[in-house]
Amino acid sequence: MQNEPMQAVRAAVACEAMTLENGLTVLVRPMPGYSGVHAIYGTRFGSIDLEFEVDGRRVSLPAGVAHFLEHKMFESEDGDAFAKFAKTGASANAYTGFDKTCYLFTATQQVDESLDILLSMVNEPYFTKETIQKEQGIIGQEIKMYDDSPDWRIMTGLFGCLYHNHPIRNDIAGTVESIAQITPEMLYDCCKGFYNPGNMVLAVAGNITTDQVLAACKRAKLPAKPAQVKRIQPQEPETVAKERMEFSMQLAKPCLGVGFKETPVEGAKAEIICDMITELVCGGMTDFYRSLYDQGLVNPGFGGEFLVLDGCCCFLFTGETDQPEKVRGLLLDEIERLRKEGVNEELFTLCKNQSYGEMLQDLENIEDSATALAGSFFRKRSLTEEIEALASVTRQEVDEALQTMLRPERSSTVIIWPKQEENA
């Protein structure tokens, strides 16, 4: 990409960024002419944070606490936050990931009031044994719902096969048994350790000014002195925990998952290379994907993804197929072919340009813009740094990465078979 277009791209991904005295990162993308505002208030605390020290005291959590806490944050002594958002006309939601929890709203009116609700609900937690017991039943039903999702089961199955000890083995929502162990004290410890401004981001995009966002932060009762927290991750060997897993569910077609356990990578460029590899192996532009699809071996959703977290790095290739063993073998053969012959230059250029397009497309509406800003915080870099890292990636670097990654000896396979109907 030439200098002038690159400058235009840098300008397109720019935002107003600042760190407040209390440590809170504030990222604002004013978008004049848009009618709405999308705000995300997020913390670096997710399902994999099960062991930590807060102010020198060790805390151990059962699986599912981060997700459980996400639900409880909408409750307070003076009412439910969803009801408050409804009065301002805002649409609110939240989600928990492996390494993050985010609270968000979209609004076209009373934006200042909605920002006040968002900041206060997260920074004024309220938990009792009675409200926790009620939530345990609600989340228990949600867990059972995920158990009926083949896409979710194939992914969690792969994590369980690839990893011996890393908490990614646990479902984000936990289990009915694990959430039954949750106490108010655990939730308050999590708030003290992770729900402090120095560990959080407020990302806002749309018809708003930075002054409006900063005024909301000033009105909020944000903690002034963050607690000292230290994450503790278990030791994880390089080998996979289990090479294979098979089970059955109620579904129309078998589902295949092939995972590869990698040594954790660091930096924007390394992660971008890994993301590109998934597209270069079996993305929609590859001859390999076309061949699988044209032969009726896979459905349109078959593809790969890359995941990197603290102490965890892996590739997952998943999808529906009537012939899982054949598709698995063809996938391994294609990876070996790429290792020997290298990546096609034209395909590499197409994938790189596609990545540029996706980065810029994420900034065309308020929801994706705010999500992109928050995501850059969780990845500990700016969008500008990411676009510059992408610009510097070469085909030779991708070929070099393929020499050490996606090794069959560090892979696991999960197959879900359709459950056979019992004879009457």
Which residues participate in catalysis according to the annotation?
70
CB < 8 Å & 24+ apart, contacts of 403-406: 403/339, 405/260, 405/262, 405/274, 405/277, 405/315, 406/260, 406/277, 406/281, 406/315, 406/335, 406/339
Task: Name 367's Cβ contacts closer than 8 Å, sequence gap at least 6.
Answer: 38, 106, 205
Cβ neighbours around 125 below 10 Å, total? 18
Structure tokens at 390: 């992408």
Sign (positive or negative) of CA dihedral 192, 198, 199, 205: positive
Write b or e for each residue in 225-241: b if 16 or more Cβ atoms lie within 10 A of its Cβ, otherwise e.
ebbebebebeebeeebb
Residue for token pair 């600042």: 18
Side chain identity at residue 170, one-letter code: N
223-227: long-range contacts at Cβ-Cβ below 8 A with a sequence spacing of 24 or more?
Answer: 223/22, 223/123, 223/196, 223/197, 224/22, 226/22, 226/23, 226/196, 226/197, 226/198, 226/199, 227/54, 227/55, 227/192, 227/193, 227/196
Distances (CA, A) of 272 to 118, 260, 277: 32, 17, 9
- Identify whether the C-beta of residue 300 lies closer than 8 Å to the C-beta of residue 293: yes
